[in-house]
Chain A
């Protein structure tokens, strides 16, 4: 196929339910222009400037786009990978995303990328490093970013503050916003025995700039011990929908996103999931209007 060009530029991200852009859906989105309020892309997949980039460049003409990094490694000691950051900033200059976000985790150690969102201890040392790294990223992007709470399969003895306090402090000190992933809150609450609802209630409402929704897996070790894995490979869990309602009531209407990365289904399945999120967003605005 060839990609015709349209003049309309991308705009700010609306406070509606968007969908994560994945390669199996490129052609359908270009050809059918389905009714989706906004799309989120992982910049790492488009840095070559090849065929995937051509799709991205074409799709951004029809949809507001959000750039959601998975490899900037905001928690790495010694600062960010300057070369990678420059490539991201260049991509952002071309695509002009409405929002830019990354995770509160690390992936790079020295010259090696461990292809994961690895957990950080919630210490003053890690906080200072993340704040410095977020500021470095914001200088490169020339705007505030959003930082996402990551899922974690362990906690550290060295941690001196809860995760939501760490996230709020990063936002306060670096001047960024929070991308609240309610699935990750739930996964961590189940894995580490804390109250997911309290996590959301105690997160300052005014820092929440976006919400992520996704499915997760329940894995069992041989001895029956359960651990929840954030694999983005299924429908959003019922308990996570409840937390989403709480988060929207708490933070007000903000952009929300359905993520699905493994066993990627038909686009229509993602649209159905987004419609469910949209109904919750709308119910909240109706209630807010009535009040």
Chain B
């Protein structure tokens, strides 16, 4: 009898297959590998039932984790749809690290790639916002760039300087007014007018313990986005000015000052000194 038993490697591979197997289209639970069923003592309860405890634990704990990260998304989709969708997602995308705070990155894309949600672009926008907020919350703490570091640069070198993003900063560009939709979903106060509002440009950062969310004008968004893509302050100012929808919308001094007052940059690199 003992010779029939799977070795540890096979036992663990069969456990993985059991936990990650898809539920059948008819809702039927998939049968675990025969070797694993034979390896588990029944002792009054069929091995299938014993193994199902772990299948359920995997799904429910990860669905709960996703529901915590994507709380507004869940409210917009309805808990029943969200949980059913998440149940398929967790089996198709098992965690690759034991840190659950890192889990769920591909979830907004999975929603976006679902044909049935093609008319629900605003939900995808909210999901992307929630993942960005989650990432910002867990991003490493770092001191914010002090304005004096920038003003200390020789005036003729500021334009060539590079600004590094603070680790907690995330930029969000959305088709829908995602800030209002997110807030509305959490307060159970979404109304149809929100779907016809202006596209959103947002910046997230975490000065200390709490994530802060602020709107940006489209030109300011283009400026910060260009900085984070590696453009110098001078080049990014040009990008910001080109993105202005009205004359004089982009003011370099004002935009830089507003960013320095928030936790947007971690460091400045004076390329004139390299």
- Is B62 part of the contact surface with A, judged by Cβ < 8 Å? yes
* Residues from 19 to 78 in B contacting A, C-beta threshold 8 Å: 19-20, 38-41, 43-45, 47, 49-51, 53-54, 57-58, 61-62
Q: Is B9 an interface residue (CB 8 A)?
A: yes
A50 and B95 contact, CB distance less than 8 A? no
What residues of B have a CB within 8 angstroms of the CB of A123 in the complex?
A: 8
Q: Is the CB of B97 within 8 A of A48?
A: no
Chain A: which residue is nearest B1 at the CB level?
A157
**Cross-chain contact A115 with B50 (CB below 8 angstroms):** no
State the Cβ distance, B39 to closest chain A Cβ, in Å. 5
Q: How many Å lie between the Cα of A126 and that of B95 in the bound state? A: 24
Residue of A nearest to B11 (CB): A121
Choice from A48, A70, A71, A153 contacting B50 with Cβ under 8 Å = A153
Secondary structure at the B interface, as helix, strand, loop or mixed, is helix
Interface residues of B in 97-119 (CB under 8 A from A): 97-102
Quick check: B101 and A225 within 8 Å, CB to CB?
A: no
Nearest CB of A to B262, in Å? 16
User: Are B138 and A48 in contact (CB-based, < 8 A)?
Assistant: yes
In the complex, whether B247 has a CB less than 8 A from a CB of chain A is no
- Check B5 for interface membership: any CB of A closer than 8 A: yes
Q: Once the chains are docked, how many angstroms separate the CA of A250 from the CA of B102?
A: 42
The count of A-to-B residue pairs whose CB atoms sit within 8 angstroms is 156
In the complex, the chain A residue whose C-beta lies closest to that of B140 is A49
Size bracket, chain A contacts: 35 or more
**Interfacial chain A residues near B98, Cβ < 8 Å:** 44, 70-73, 81, 84, 107-108, 113, 115
Instruction: Known A125-B7, A154-B47; judge A112-B20 contact (CB<8 A).
Output: yes
Q: Enumerate chain A residues within 8 angstroms of B168, measured Cβ to Cβ.
A: 50
Distance of B4 from chain A, by nearest CB (Å): 8
Q: Would A50 and B139 count as touching, CB distance under 8 A? A: yes
Given contacts A71-B98, A115-B100, A154-B41, contact A129 B8 (CB under 8 A): yes
Interface: B183 (CB within 8 A): no
B210 at interface by CB-CB < 8 Å? yes
B208 at the interface (CB under 8 A from A): yes
Closest approach, in angstroms, between the C-beta of B64 and any C-beta of chain A? 9
* Contacting pair B99 A109 (CB below 8 A): no
Measured CB to CB, the closest approach of chain B to A218, in angstroms, equals 14
Q: In the complex, which residue of chain A has the Cβ closest to the Cβ of B13?
A: A109
On whether A48 and B58 interact (CB within 8 A), knowing A2-B208, A125-B8, A221-B45, the answer reads no
Which residues A154-171 have CB closer than 8 A to chain B? 154-158
Q: Are A157 and B43 in contact (CB under 8 A)?
A: no
Chain A residue numbers with a CB within 8 Å of B5 are: 121, 156-158
Cβ < 8 Å to B, chain A residues 107-125: 107-116, 118, 120-121, 123, 125
CA distance A154 to B5 in the complex (A): 15
Does A201 sit within 8 A of B, measured CB to CB? no
Among residues of B, the one whose C-beta sits closest to the C-beta of A109 is: B16
The answer to whether B9 touches A77 (Cβ under 8 A) is yes
CA distance A107 to B100 in the complex (A): 13
For residue B170, CB closer than 8 A to chain A, the reply is: no
Residues of chain B lying within 8 A (CB to CB) of residue A125: 7-8
B contact residues around A118 at 8 Å (CB):
12, 15, 54
B140 touches A50 (CB 8 A): yes
Whether B8 pairs with A115 at a CB distance below 8 angstroms is no
A45 and B102 alpha carbons, distance in the complex (Å): 9
Which residues of chain B are within 8 angstroms of A129 by Cβ–Cβ distance? 8
B215 interfacial by beta-carbon distance below 8 Å: no
A128 CA to B5 CA in the complex, in Å? Answer: 17
The contact of B40 among A54, A75, A76, A154, by CB within 8 Å, is A154
Residues of A close to B20: CB separation below 8 A: 112, 114
B89 within 8 A of A: no
Is B209 touching A45 in the complex (CB atoms < 8 A)? no
Asked whether B153 is an interface residue with its Cβ less than 8 Å from the other chain, the reply is no
Verify if B2 is at the interface (C-beta below 8 Å from A).
yes
Chain B residues near A75: list those with CB within 8 A: 8, 12
Contact call B53/A48, Cβ cutoff below 8 A: no
Query: Given A2-B209, A112-B96: A155 and B101 within 8 A (CB)?
Result: no
Q: Check A52/B138 contact, CB under 8 A, given A116-B54, A118-B54.
A: yes
Q: Which of B2, B11, B136, B137: most chain A CB closer than 10 A? A: B11
Chain B residues in 8 Å Cβ range of A71: 97-99
- Taking a contact as CB atoms under 8 Å apart, the answer to whether B138 and A113 are in contact is no
Q: Which single residue of chain B is at the shortest CB-CB distance from A192?
A: B43
A-B residue pairs in contact (CB < 8 Å), sample of 27: A2-B208, A3-B209, A44-B101, A45-B101, A48-B102, A48-B138, A48-B139, A50-B101, A50-B136, A50-B140, A50-B141, A52-B138, A54-B209, A72-B98, A106-B12, A114-B19, A114-B20, A114-B94, A116-B58, A116-B61, A121-B11, A123-B8, A125-B8, A158-B2, A221-B45, A221-B49, A229-B53
**What would 16 more interface pairs be, CB under 8 Å, given A50-B168, A54-B141, A77-B12?**
A3-B209, A49-B139, A51-B138, A51-B209, A52-B138, A77-B8, A110-B13, A113-B97, A118-B54, A121-B5, A123-B8, A153-B50, A153-B54, A156-B11, A158-B2, A227-B53
